[in-house]
Amino acid sequence: MCINMIPCLTAEVNRKTHLNRQLFSFCCRFVRQVWLIFASDYIIIDTTATKNGDHADMKRADSIFSELQSTIPAGEYGPSGSAFITVRELARKYSCSLHCALDVFDRLLDGCLILSIGKRSYVTTGPCGSRTPLGKFLSESQRDMLGILLQDSSNPFFGSLIRHLYTVAAGNRYQLIVSCTGGSPEREREILDLFLKLGCRGVFSCVPVSKQQEPLFRNYPLPLVTLAEESHLPNTDVILVNNYTAGRQIAKHLMKCGCCSFAYVTEADYIESDRRLKGFRDYLHENGSELNDENIFVVTQPDSGIISREIGWFTTNLLNRTRQLGIPLPLGIFCVHDLLAVETSRAVKRYRPAKYKPFCIPDDVMIAGFDDLPIAAAVTPTLTTVSYRYSAMAETAFGVMTDYITNPDHVPKQYEISSSLIIRESTSQSSVFSNITGING
């Protein structure tokens, strides 16, 4: 018998890393459930449930959770920050077993509808008032500290923005804690929970919110201010550039420069609610030109090496099609940010067709970016781009956050920062830079 077990034991050893992760996850869930049991003063645990009983409990838990998904946000258990009922009270209210009540609690925690701290659970349907039980509990450990949730620490745009925000915060005796998610949804939740435990008064979010993550952000108990990302969550202030007007600025400039056809390069994080694209496309349509769907390219991978290859592939196909169909030049390409514009410029310069002469920038192809990063003025040819004051965005964001923290009647809304068009060599043969502001047409 022992000999027959040796292959199984060897296989288990080979899978130890995977099993350790599973064991850790199981232990966390087990400890949480045991804690909820003690928090509810349960002493006797029924472990005699049959398979049919488990199935019935699961169906009952589905029904209860579905009901609570509606009644908790509707305020039946009080506003955000109110104390939530215990496991025992939940089982008593719905006449269900302990196993079923624990299952429902787990789902509520995973769905961010409640938050468990110590022996208490609280309703979380957005920022909690300072007079609520959760608000009072958090205020005991809160300091003049703000969290910043960042997706990519190497992003030069957010690097510049955070430096300006740090200057404004330091001038008001606030500390900033910056943490990077690396694009991981699980990491986002860990960091937001950490900001709560550290005593942050509010959080600046610099990450795009997917539909999967909406409950986490919508129900978060601290004030949230989103920077440079679109958000339609009711509990979140949004600070961003007037992207729609900026898109129209670029379209107007490219048409004025004589561009006859157009392309747009963006990223997957932007495309769902891309106001720059909408403004760009609307202006072209209103003035007798069109941006064809085949000329809109979405970069799918954040890795710089993959981005370079993807843009190279798109640019080669675009320029080949332009030659073969005899599309009039110059071609105007608008990129959602400067880093993509730089890669597009490099791809155009690398393009060497066998039967045709290369394309020249800006005579044959004009390229415009967004954000006015330092690299835009350092590349050759220098890059036309949209600029705005980082300091203005930082000052607005900090002012909105402090009002959100101190004003119980604060109503979240969207704030837009004005922008300027910086014309450089990629759309003009002139080496003189021009600032064009306030273009709405």
Sorted by sequence, the CB contacts under 8 Å of residue 122 that are 6+ apart come out as 81, 82, 83, 84, 114, 115, 116, 128, 132, 133, 134, 221
Which pLDDT band holds residue 435 (cuts at 50, 70, 90)? very low
Residues 386/427, Cβ–Cβ less than 8 Å = no
3-state secondary structure the chain: CHHHHHHHHHHHHHCHHHHHHHHHHHHHHHHHHHHHHHHCCCCCCCCCCCHHHHHHHHHHHHHHHHHHHHHCCCCCCCCCCCECCCHHHHHHHCCCCHHHHHHHHHHHHHCCCEEEECCEEEECCCCCCCCCHHHHHHHCCCCCEEEEEECCCCCHHHHHHHHHHHHHHHHCCCEEEEEECCCCHHHHHHHHHHHHHHCCCEEEEECCCCHHHHHHHHCCCCCEEEECCCCCCCCEEEEEECHHHHHHHHHHHHHHCCCCEEEEEEEHHHHCCCHHHHHHHHHHHHCCCCCCHHHEEEECCCCHHHHHHHHHHHHHHHHHHHHHCCCCCCEEEEECCHHHHHHHHHHHHHCCCCCCCCCCCCCCEEEECCCCCHHHHHCCCCCEEEECCHHHHHHHHHHHHHHHHHCCCCCCCEEEECCEEEECCCCCCCCCCEEEECCCC
Sorted by sequence, the CB contacts under 8 Å of residue 362 that are 6+ apart come out as 257, 330, 381, 425, 426, 427, 428, 429
Residue 202 pLDDT more than 70?
yes
pLDDT at 130: 86
Residue 255 pLDDT more than 50?
yes
Query: Edge-to-edge strand order for the sheet containing 420-423?
Result: 385-387, 420-423, 434-437
How far is CA 149 from its chain centroid?
Answer: 9
Average pLDDT estimate for 193-202: 93
pLDDT at 29: 57
Show the tokens assigned to 112.
């961010």
Pairwise CA distance, residues 363 & 106, whole Å: 62
pLDDT at 307: 77
Average pLDDT estimate for 362-371: 95
Radius of gyration of the chain (CA): 27
Report pLDDT digits (tens) over 309-365.
888 888 888 998 888 888 899 999 999 999 999 999 999 999 987 777 889 999 999
Choose between 304 and 382: higher pLDDT: 382
Residues 264/294, Cβ–Cβ less than 8 Å = no
Residue 304 pLDDT more than 90?
no
pLDDT at 208: 86
pLDDT at 157: 86
Half-sphere exposure of 83 (CA within 13 A, CB side): 10
Pairwise CA distance, residues 164 & 389, whole Å: 10
pLDDT at 20: 52
Side chain identity, residue 52: N
Which pLDDT band holds residue 300 (cuts at 50, 70, 90)? confident
Pairwise CA distance, residues 59 & 69, whole Å: 16
CA distances from 233 to 128, 136, 392, 410, 412 (A): 16, 25, 23, 15, 9
Average pLDDT estimate for 98-108: 92
Average pLDDT estimate for 246-258: 95
Report pLDDT digits (tens) over 37-74.
444 444 333 444 444 456 777 889 999 999 999 999 99
pLDDT at 228: 87
Predicted model pTM: 0.75
pLDDT at 358: 86
Residue 196 pLDDT more than 70?
yes
Half-sphere exposure of 317 (CA within 13 A, CB side): 11
pLDDT at 325: 86
Residue 383 pLDDT more than 60?
yes
Q: Residue 180 pairs with which residues in a beta bridge?
A: 150
Show the tokens assigned to 375.
């690299």
Query: Edge-to-edge strand order for the sheet containing 331-335?
Result: 296-299, 261-267, 331-335, 365-368
Q: Residue 368 pairs with which residues in a beta bridge?
A: 334, 384
Residues 256/186, Cβ–Cβ less than 8 Å = no
CA dihedral angle for residue 103, residue 104, residue 105, residue 111, rounded to 10 degrees: 110
